[in-house]
Amino acid sequence: MTFDILPQALVNGLMAGTVLAVPAIGFTAVFAIRGYPNFMIGAMATIGAYAGWLVNTGAGFSIWSAVAVAFVAAAIIGLAVEKVAVRPLEASGALTMAIASLAVSIVLENVVRFFFSNNLRGFDLPIERDAVIMGVRFGPQQLRNLLIALAIMASIWLILKFTRFGRAMRASADNPDLARLKGVEPVRIADITIAMGMGLCGLGGALLAIDSSVDPMVGTRLLLSIFAAAVLGGLGSIPGAVAGALSIGIIEELTVAYLSPAYRLAASFLVIILTLTFKPQGLLGARVR
C-alpha cells in the first residue's frame, strides 16, 4: 500500500463524486415524489451524452451550452416517455412501474444504438495541459465539470429552499396527502420532478461522457454508482444523495487506485449491500421499514 497516490485518488474521488451527485439527486428526487425506483436514469444519461455531443460537434456549441442542451433533451424525452409508457401503470403498483421503466430504458438505449451504432465518439475539446498542484494533477475539463456540477447543486438548493415549487415539492415528498390537502397539485409536481430528475441524469451523462467517451454504454457505466450514492445517502433524501455521491466517488477512486479499475462498480455494489444491511435508512434518509 503506497500513500503517494492517495492525494490524487482523493482529489479524483471528490471530483467524480461531485459530478455523480447531479444524476444521484435526479434519481432520489424522482423516488421521493413518485415512490418507485425509475430505471430510465441510465438511458437518460446516454441520451444526454448524445444530445450534448451532437450540438457540440455538429453545431459547434461550447461545452457549457452542450450540457444545457443535454439537460433539456433528457428532461423533455424523459417526461414524455414517463407519461406515455410508465405512469399509466400507476394502478398496477410501484414495482410494475419500475419494471416498465427498465423496459423503456432498453428501448431508448437501442434507439440510440440504432442511429449511432456502438462506435466510441468524443466531444470536441481543446487540448490542454493538466495543472499540477502539490503533486496532484487537475485536468482543466475536470475542473469545468466540477464547476458545472456545483452550480447545478447550488441552483437546486435555491429552488427547493426559496421557490413556491420547491416548498410544494418538499411538502409532497414529506407527506403527499397533507400536501394535496393544502392545494399542491400532485400531477404538476410529479411532472416537474420527473423532468428535472431526468434532465439531471442527462446532464450527468453528458459530464461523464465529456470526461470519457460518448457511446451507448454511458448510462450503464453510471447506473450502479447512482444507485449506490442514493442508497448510501438514504433513498429519497436530496442532501443524502450529495453526501452519498461524494462518498461513492472517493470509494470508487480508492478502489481504482489500490485494487483494480475493474472493481470500481463492484465496490459500489458492496456499499449498497452493507448500507441496506446495517443502516438501511442511509446517512441522511428517513425510516424505510
Cα 205 to Cα 47, 123, 174, 189: the distances in Å are 8, 13, 29, 24
Question: 114 to 153, contacts with other proteins by CB under 8 A?
Answer: 114, 117-118
Q: Is 266 in the site for other proteins (CB under 8 A)?
A: yes
For other proteins, give the closer residue by CB, 212 or 220.
Answer: 220
The piece of 34-42, 50-58, 135-143, 160-168 that touches other proteins (CB under 8 A) is 34-42
Q: At its nearest, how many Å lie between other proteins and the CB of residue 117?
A: 5
Name which position in 89, 150, 160, 286 contacts other proteins (CB under 8 A).
Answer: 89
Q: Is 224 in the site for other proteins (CB under 8 A)?
A: yes
Name which position in 13, 17, 26, 37 contacts other proteins (CB under 8 A).
Answer: 37
Q: At its nearest, how many Å lie between other proteins and the CB of residue 285?
A: 11
Q: Is 279 in the site for other proteins (CB under 8 A)?
A: no
Name which position in 10, 85, 192, 217 contacts other proteins (CB under 8 A).
Answer: 85
Q: Which three cell numbers stand for residue 280?
A: 438501511
For other proteins, give the closer residue by CB, 7 or 261.
Answer: 261
For other proteins, give the closer residue by CB, 111 or 171.
Answer: 111
Q: Is 235 in the site for other proteins (CB under 8 A)?
A: yes
What gap in Å lies between CA 114 and CA 36, rounded to an integer? 29
Name which position in 76, 98, 150, 257 contacts other proteins (CB under 8 A).
Answer: 98
Q: Is 174 in the site for other proteins (CB under 8 A)?
A: no
Could you list the residues that contact other proteins (CB under 8 A)?
Answer: 31, 36-37, 39, 85-86, 88-89, 92-96, 98-100, 102-104, 106-107, 110-111, 113-114, 117-118, 220, 223-224, 227-228, 231, 235, 260, 262-263, 265-266, 268-269, 272-274, 276-277, 280, 288-289
